[in-house]
Structure 1
Amino acid sequence: MTSPMKADQLFLASDAALRSVIDRIEPDDLHKPVPASWSSIDDPTVLDLLRSHAYDEAWVPGVLAGASVVDGDELRDTDLLGADPIAAYDALNEAATALVRAGVDPASTFRFQYGDYSADEGLSHLALYRAFQAWMIAKHLGIPFRLSPELIAGLNQWVLPHAEEWRAFGVFPPEIEPPVGADDETRLLCAVGYWVP
């Protein structure tokens, strides 16, 4: 029997999955459009999405320290990607990974724009965004990718019990009926409404 995945392990696995996809984005892909639902800006591109993920990685140190955007958000107006967007993202990813690997205080509070959460809940929120974005970006660009069995198990543990609650908040689209004979990855993606044939 597989032991439960800890929240920090889920974050690290999800973050690594997203990086594995981002590192295979070709320069010509950066200006391709992505679905409008993936971004709050008009006519978003892959580069815009990468900017969003770079920002999310850059905020991890602040989140772990109990900071919030309400305290100030210098990162929002900062060019985090520069001339080499993938390398810049990788550097931010490495910094976030190192901090989480060094240990997260379980008694800390993560202060997100939508509320305050315990460290475990906060890490699971950060993880679900990364994991499902990894799959969606790969699918969108035709990059070969599958969620690992360990990551699927962790998402089933940490995310699925809250899927309906988060769906009510608009985080997930409607659930999809899985096809006959669906594998574990497909069933998970259908449960959160992201699966695309």
Structure 2
Amino acid sequence: MTIDIPEAYQRALDDFGALVHRIGPEQWENPTPCVDWDVRALVNHVVGENLWAPVLLAGGTSADVGDAFEGDLLGDDPIKAFDTSAVPAIQAATGVRALDRLVHLPFGDVPGREYVTELFADALIHTWDLARAIGADERLDPELVEACAAWFSDAEPGYRQAATAGGQRETPPDTDAQTRLLASWGRRA
């Protein structure tokens, strides 16, 4: 990957956050490209990921947290909930030795670098999902697209096996990098 992964994660999460701040009161129930998720559920998912990051990057486990990060994490002020969750997530991902730690995920242990890369990819793809849902500009940062595509080309078989990425969509050979990346994640741009 040609970009520093914590920086990529921060940039992707910042882009997602900028869109969160643009969500109109009438848009929280808009459907998203994520099956069964409206805008509120999508933002809730990212907030949940943000809340997990500091715990897991500090060596914690899902048993340590229990069900504290389940259900509605947005409350009456979804924008504030996102903002409040993003800062510690970025701090944890950019912290000393974050990439070298062993992270205990429910399906097994992974290096911190892999976990932060997964967070980056999730934030990037969901930025497009949110943009599509609220009618915002859907163009993603080309450098982040390139970095995500490079990582996902190796990680894709595992994601397909775990069914954590949507079914790959076919694209013509002359398709741009963003459309190819989104298609690999099961999105139709």
TM-score computed with the length of structure 1 as normaliser = 0.83
Give the Å deviation of 1:177.
2.1
Q: Aligned match of 1:134 in 127, 139, 151?
A: 127
1:79–1:167 CA distance, 2 compared to 1 (3 A)? closer
Q: Aligned match of 2:60 in 67, 85, 95?
A: 67
Query: Any idea what SS the aligned residue of 1:143 has?
Result: coil
Amino acid at match of 1:118: P
- Tell me the distance in 2 between the aligned counterparts of 1:77 and 1:189: 27
1:29–1:111 CA distance, 2 compared to 1 (3 A)? same
Q: Aligned match of 1:169 in 137, 142, 162?
A: 162
Range with bigger deviation, 44-53 or 141-150:
44-53
How many percent of aligned residue pairs carry the same amino acid? 24
1:186–1:77 CA distance, 2 compared to 1 (3 A)? closer
Q: Does 1:108 align with 2:106?
A: no
Give the Å deviation of 1:62.
0.3
Q: Is the 8 A contact 2:33 2:132 kept in 1?
A: no
Q: Unaligned 5+ residue runs, structure 2?
A: none
Amino acid at match of 1:16: D
Amino acid at match of 1:182: T
Q: Which residue of 2 aligns with 1:189?
A: 182
**Considering only aligned residues, what root-mean-square deviation do their CA atoms show, in Å?**
2.3
Q: Is the 8 A contact 1:176 1:193 kept in 2?
A: yes
Q: Which residue of 1 aligns with 2:21?
A: 23
Amino acid at match of 1:172: A
Q: Is the 8 A contact 2:93 2:99 kept in 1?
A: no
Query: Any idea what SS the aligned residue of 1:159 has?
Result: helix
Q: Deviations over 1:121-160 (max 9, x none)?
A: 1111111111111111211221113111110121022222
1:190–1:95 CA distance, 2 compared to 1 (3 A)? same
Q: Deviations over 1:13-47 (max 9, x none)?
A: 22222212222211111123446735xxxxx4322
Give the Å deviation of 1:98.
2.8
